[in-house]
A and B are shown apart, each in its own frame.
Chain A
Amino acid sequence: MSALRADAAVAWAIARKDALSELRGRHAAGSTLFFAALVLLLFGFALGPDSRRLAEAAPGLLWLAIVFGGLLTVARLHQLEADDDALDQLARYPVERHAIYAGKALAGLAAMLVLGAVVLPVVVILYGVEVGGAWPALLATLVLGAIGFAAVGTFYAGVTVRMRAREVMLPLLMLPVVAPLLLAAVKATAAALGGDPFGELGAWLQLLAGFDVVMLIAGGLTYGHLLEE
């Protein structure tokens, strides 16, 4: 049991380190948030001005903004170490690989939740969305989606961190894999906002949760192979 506690301690230490770097990091995190809001604005220009159409499209646009912002976010979290070659040092510590993965994914999750917290109000305002009593369902969707994206993103950020053309390789590799997450999150969001007329919300949330579990396990098991070189 102490092995688990050791792992948890490692993960927490890494997550804390990343979170502190984010907070101190010279507006890099803030820029990403601004970018996401900007993307939402641009969607308005692309799909508007019919407000009804925008309101219908809102769940999809919300999650697209989260995905785009998320790509920048996970890339940034791995860039911190890569620039200082700290990733190699991290790899040499005698700690469990999956603990490192868990720590970075945790930091990723925190960053994604912040992103979601910023993007959601912007969507509500720009697209005239009526949230009403859907808050709990919306939050559940956000959390589950953030977990999945962080799980996948941490893995692929690790894969692409030191390669050529990583700015395009990260999205290129990641986006097909998160397609089901996007699909389910949008459907769940739409169901929550629409009052769940078909009772499908639970099913979509379950799909999200299942996706999260599978990806966390897969990422945890394989992350080690990315570090050993």
Chain B
Amino acid sequence: MTDWPFVLAGWGVILGGAGAYTLLLLRRLRNARQASLAIRRAADEPAPRERE
């Protein structure tokens, strides 16, 4: 009966941590896709000046 705090701590951190990581991962993925899109758009524009 006195074990439930440990059970909750164990399960809570594990499931909660996995959930947090999942949400973070989805956000990172979304940001990366947007960044990648932005690069592609910038590259497709007729580049007015070459920096090389």
A and B directly contacting (CB within 8 A): no
Residues of A within 8 A of B (CB): none
